[in-house]
Amino acid sequence: MVDRLANSEANTRRISIVENCFGAAGQPLTIPGRVLIGEGVLTKLCRKKPKARQFFLFNDILVYGNIVIQKKKYNKQHIIPLENVTIDSIKDEGDLRNGWLIKTPTKSFAVYAATATEKSEWMNHINKCVTDLLSKSGKTPSNEHAAVWVPDSEATVCMRCQKAKFTPVNRRHHCRKCGFVVCGPCSEKRFLLPSQSSKPVRICDFCYDLLSTGDIATCQPARSDSYSQSLKSPLNDMSDDDDDDDSSD
């Protein structure tokens, strides 16, 4: 079905509409063979609280952005190559239900659908697209994934030293390797994580010591079922040094 739609006028028109909704600030999305599989609003766990984001699933990429005017205008476009994606279901916790993790080497985050049926459809379609891509390319699924960040709201003190209390002055930071919420003194070091940045990024002292000695596995992020234990209040997403509007997530 995907192959049949690839060169259809209807598919070309649908992709063009998405491009227009992102405007000049968005990247061009029309390329030969690309098909828009589906779209919808999902709740993404952003830095200060869960926020609605518009998602578009293509046969090779996942695109999302902020909703300015529903079905008319979006901004802050993010494009994720599907061949790098793996997804894991999240157990329901309180008001946060029907969720799953989207994990890539560059960034990982949680999203939630309105219903269990919608969740199932999204996950099935994403998995099908990823499987088809890998089958065609002959590549193997990615084993490296960025940490899913622990929510700011779940840490009143540094998760490493267990002493420093967070205040408006003593800010929270996130280790890019393990995803823990840490204080400044416990995360002064930088380390090059090529999958996340071309420049050294902030990591906690614990991960720095392990990475420096080559013991990478010990500080690998361990988030799937255990991550759901942190999803009991408004969460945050990727960045202690940026705002919460997905500028860098």
Rg (CA), the chain: 19
State the Cα–Cα distance between residues 179 and 73, nearest whole angstrom: 32
Would you put residue 236 in left (φ > 0), alpha (ψ -120 to 50) or beta?
Answer: beta
Q: List, as one string, the DSSP characters of 183-230.
A: -SGGG--EE--TTT-SS-EE--HHHHHHHHTT-TGGGS---STGGGGG
- For each of the chain's 249 residues, which pLDDT tens digit applies? 566 677 789 999 999 999 999 999 999 999 999 999 999 999 998 766 789 999 999 999 999 999 999 889 999 999 999 999 999 999 998 888 999 999 999 999 999 999 999 999 999 999 999 999 999 988 888 788 999 888 888 899 999 999 999 999 999 999 999 999 999 999 999 999 998 999 999 999 999 999 998 876 666 554 443 444 444 333 333 333 333 433 333
- Tell me which architecture the domain covering 1-137 has in CATH: Roll (2.30)
**Per CATH, is 152-213 categorized as 3.40.50.300?**
no
pLDDT for the residue 92: 95
pLDDT for the residue 1: 56
Whose tokens are 């990982």? That residue is: 108
What DSSP designation does 84 have?
G
**pTM more than 0.85:** no
The full set of domain ranges for the chain reads 1-137, 152-213
Q: List, as one string, the DSSP characters of 4-47.
A: HHTT-HHHHHHHHHHHHHHGGGSPP---TT--EEEEEEEEEE-S
pLDDT for the residue 144: 84
* Residues linked to residue 141 through DSSP beta bridges, in sequence order: none
Q: How many CA atoms does the CB half-sphere of 33 hold within 13 Å?
A: 4
Three-class secondary structure of residue 136 per DSSP: helix
pLDDT for the residue 38: 96
Between CA 182 and CA 188, with CA 184 as vertex, the angle to 5 degrees is 105
Between CA 107 and CA 73, with CA 129 as vertex, the angle to 5 degrees is 65
pLDDT for the residue 99: 97
- For 13, the token pair is 């028109």
pLDDT for the residue 222: 46
Number of Cβ within a 10 Å radius of residue 156: 11
